[in-house]
Amino acid sequence: MKIAISCHPTQGGSGVVATELAMGLAERGHEVHLVSMEKPFRLPDSSSVVYHSVPVTDYPLFKHPPHDLSLANKLAEVTVQHDIDVIHAHYAVPHAVSAILASKAAAPNHVKVVTTLHGTDITLVGSHRDFYRVCRWAMLECDGLTAVSQWLTDETVKAFALDTPPAIIPNFVDRARFTDVGRVALPDSGEVQIMHASNFRPVKRVFDVIRVFHRIQEQRPARLIMVGDGPMRGMTEELVAELGIVDRVNFVGPQKNIEDLYRRSHLFILPSDYESFGLSALEAMACGTPVVASRAGGLVEVIDHGVTGHLCPVGHIDRFADCALAILANPEAWSAMSAAASRVAMERFCKDKILAQYEAFYDQVVAAPVA
Ligand code: GMT
């Protein structure tokens, strides 16, 4: 099949999922084109995915270059030039809208449009009144809609009054990369390593990460690795200084080989307000790192409480810290949890299984008569 994928290239789960999907589909013999403002950071130069950049066209009349139109135009061009069967948009705003425009602009070619909803495109951006009507219209125009969890499907139906719920196709991990082979064990005593990775947006509650860690390191020697970057990073570094734990916390920015950090960490903390899925939690689990996360959104579909990690009420610093300390207290129980985390990640969310679901979805959409 010939597939054009569009996504945000910035740090964030939707771009990661779109890029991994593009690479996985190309490995399985499909012709895949990736259309984005910049080359997504997870797409290596060696990939057989064909990358097309979207031009930023400036003109004195424009206060802001109309990116969404340039994206639609580039998608239409790629569709016609390469006889694309399916445009797969990731993150509804603006990609679903641009993809629908592209499908019309590509006429007389018939191209089907699939959109995958990732979370904040529905909960924060798409449902904002500035985007709501156009976002709902684009979703209804799509030939297929998927969401990354049951929770997100339910939220979408509620927020947009949809008659047909989006199909659920969860996120996935690549076993070749995210594995527990070579991971470090939990020491009986001595320093433990805690990790958090995100785009440091308010929804991630990064201050909670620091406060939970502050409590952990009062009980046993510990180090915190903060991976990623984003708007709350500066204020988070200030909080670390205020609490006097600068020598215990490393802000390492975005990391190319994040799997090595997961394997060297004994616990992953994700105290978000909610996550539609929580891709970073899944990647940590695949590397054998137990997760302490919020009992919120789709995280309950990824983490089995007491088996692969712990789920705590949002904002309860003491509960998070107590759960983390309990997991770190017993190396035998920790090893069992680490093994379960890796096994569940691979059994339930393995790349081949999920890619097969996307292929079946495309087949169904392409086979459906043109409306
Ligand atoms: O979490 C974000 O701020 C970014 C957003 C994105 O577009 O990358 O993440 C969402 O999509 C990911 C991939 O499907 C999910 O794993 C994240 O849980 C989801 N974030 C939220 O729902 C807050």
In 50-205, alpha helices (H): 67-82, 92-105, 120, 132-141, 150-160
Contact 238, 210 (CB under 8 A): no
Asked if residue 177 is part of any domain, the answer here is no
Beta bridge partners of 29: none
Contact 289, 262 (CB under 8 A): yes
* Res 10: pLDDT: 80
Asked if residue 128 is part of any domain, the answer here is yes
Residues 9 and 150 both lie in one domain:
yes
Asked if residue 167 is part of any domain, the answer here is yes
Residues 355 and 339 both lie in one domain:
no
CA-CA distance, 135 to 159, in Å (whole number)?
Answer: 11
Asked if residue 283 is part of any domain, the answer here is yes
Ranking 39-48, 244-253, 349-358 by mean pLDDT, the lowest is 39-48
pLDDT band at 123 (very low <50, low <70, confident <90, very high): confident
* d(CA 189, ligand 1 centre) in Å: 35
Asked if residue 27 is part of any domain, the answer here is yes
| Mean pLDDT across 30-34 | 98
* Res 305: pLDDT: 97
CA-CA distance, 338 to 67, in Å (whole number)?
Answer: 44
| Mean pLDDT across 287-308 | 98
The residue among 315, 369, 355, 310 whose CA lies nearest residue 337 is 310
* d(CA 195, ligand 1 centre) in Å: 18
Residues 332 and 355 both lie in one domain:
no
Asked if residue 181 is part of any domain, the answer here is no
Ligand 1 nearest-atom number relative to CA 298: 18
Q: Is 12 left (phi over 0), alpha (psi -120 to 50) or beta?
A: left
CATH code, domain carrying 263: 3.40.50.2000
Please state the pTM of the whole predicted model: 0.95
SS3 call for 117: strand
Q: Is the CB of 126 under 6 A from ligand 1?
A: no
| Mean pLDDT across 33-37 | 97
Q: Is the CB of 93 under 6 A from ligand 1?
A: no
Domains held by the chain: number:
2
* pLDDT tens digits, 136-169: 999 999 999 999 999 999 999 999 999 999 999 9
Residues 335 and 242 both lie in one domain:
yes
Asked if residue 65 is part of any domain, the answer here is yes
* d(CA 91, ligand 1 centre) in Å: 9
Asked if residue 187 is part of any domain, the answer here is no
The residue range of the domain holding 140 is: 2-172+350-367
255: part of which helix (H) or strand (E)?
none
* d(CA 96, ligand 1 centre) in Å: 16
Residues 155 and 209 both lie in one domain:
no
| Mean pLDDT across 205-218 | 98
Residues 306 and 205 both lie in one domain:
yes
Query: Pick the residue with more confidence: 310 or 42?
Result: 310
Tokens representing 188 are 């009986």
* pLDDT tens digits, 228-278: 999 999 999 999 999 999 999 999 999 989 999 999 999 999 999 999 999
Q: How many CB atoms lie within 10 A of CB 192?
A: 22
Q: Are strands 192-197 and 267-270 parallel, antiparallel or unpaired?
A: parallel
Q: Tell me the C-alpha to C-alpha distance, in Å, between residue 261 and each of 69, 159, 294, 329.
A: 39, 37, 22, 21
Percent of the chain with pLDDT over 90: 92
Ligand 1 nearest-atom number relative to CA 279: 16
Residues 319 and 361 both lie in one domain:
no
With 80 as the cut, is the pLDDT of residue 11 above it?
no
Residues 164 and 16 both lie in one domain:
yes
Residues 292 and 361 both lie in one domain:
no
CA 365 to chain CA centroid, nearest Å = 24
* Res 16: pLDDT: 94
Residues 294 and 269 both lie in one domain:
yes
- HSE at residue 21, side-chain half, CA atoms within 13 A, is 28
Residues 219 and 299 both lie in one domain:
yes
CA-CA distance, 293 to 195, in Å (whole number)?
Answer: 12
Residues 252 and 124 both lie in one domain:
no
* Res 58: pLDDT: 86
> For residue 82, what are the contacts with CB-CB under 8 A and spacing of at least 6?
2, 4, 31, 33
* Res 128: pLDDT: 87
